Amino acid sequence: MNKIIATVCILIALHGCNSAGTHAKRIPVAMAGNVTLYYDEIPDQVKDALTPADSAVAIQNFINKWARRELLFRKAESNLSPDLRNEIETQLGETRVNLVVYEYQRMMMMQNMDTIITREELESYYSNNGNNFILPSNIVKALFIKLPVETPGIYKIKTLSRSDKQKDFQELESLCYQFAEKFDDFNESWITLDRLSLELKEEISNQENFLKRSRYHESSDSSSVYLITIYDYRLRGTLAPFEYVERDIKRIIWNNRRLEYIRDLENGIFNEALKVNDFKIY
């Protein structure tokens, strides 16, 4: 092992000398079967260790892993049946074609496809496809607070949580940052009531009645008090608010645009081939 490390250290030094030349000869470092590993094939992160000795050890470890993989591949290839080898070659060919086509399509889309989606397009899609955006769950805009039962001034926090005044909310926020175990304000974004109910120890058995009954909910257990203020809600089975599905609509429009572009690209290439007689059926 020491001899190998010493040899690799010499290769590192030689490589450093040769790197100044523009046509340096490739340096072989190992052979497994009839496959040769060259020094320039070793990743830079393996070679660039703190010291030459550390680099030599890292390179030796890389060589060992490379040799094990190559030898295993050689053994496996020689023991597979001809039919299985042909099947693998076919799969490799298909994979190569798919990868080349995918990268070409991606390049052409990046260069030529319109990626700007206006708000007017989003709203128009929403208006014309309302049946696709029916809520499967009840959603809410709400405030959730979890407090230790021994929180000082807890009655004031309860009162502030029911206020619509901005100054009261600011005071509530300040108190909750001091005492609350959890303070989540979902006034600007919709969430499912299922997600909110996970925070409670009790199960909400009839969510529709729960939402229609009151804007405020309070419950407790031996260690915590739970406060919920409902700002707004939408019931399952009704049309989802635009802002709740806006990102979904954007993805749908973009995907439709992508599929249309790829279809036009393929048709254009196919039709051009027909014009120049580059496609024939015998």
Q: For the chain, give every domain's residue range.
A: 2-79, 135-234
What confidence category does residue 280 fall into, taking pLDDT thresholds of 50, 70 and 90? Answer: confident
- Confirm if 191 and 144 have CB atoms less than 8 A apart: no
SS3 category, 29 = strand
The pLDDT tens digits for 243-279 are 999 999 999 999 999 999 999 999 999 999 999 989 8
- Secondary-structure percent of the chain, ordered helix, strand, coil, rounded to 5: 60, 15, 25
Burial class (CB in 10 A: 0-12, 13-18, 19+), 151: buried
Across 26-119, the runs of DSSP E, i.e. the strands, are 28-32, 35-38
Paired strand residues for 224: 148
Q: What is the mean pLDDT of the chain?
A: 89
Does domain 135-234 fall under CATH 3.90.700? My reply is: no
- 58-76 burial, b if ≥16 CB within 10 A, otherwise e? bbbebbeebbeebeeeeee
The pLDDT tens digits for 99-155 are 999 999 999 999 999 989 999 999 999 999 999 999 999 999 999 999 999 999 899
d(CA 141, CA 124): 25
pTM over 0.75: no
* Angle CA 41–74–38, to nearest 5: 15
pLDDT, residue 50, reads: 63
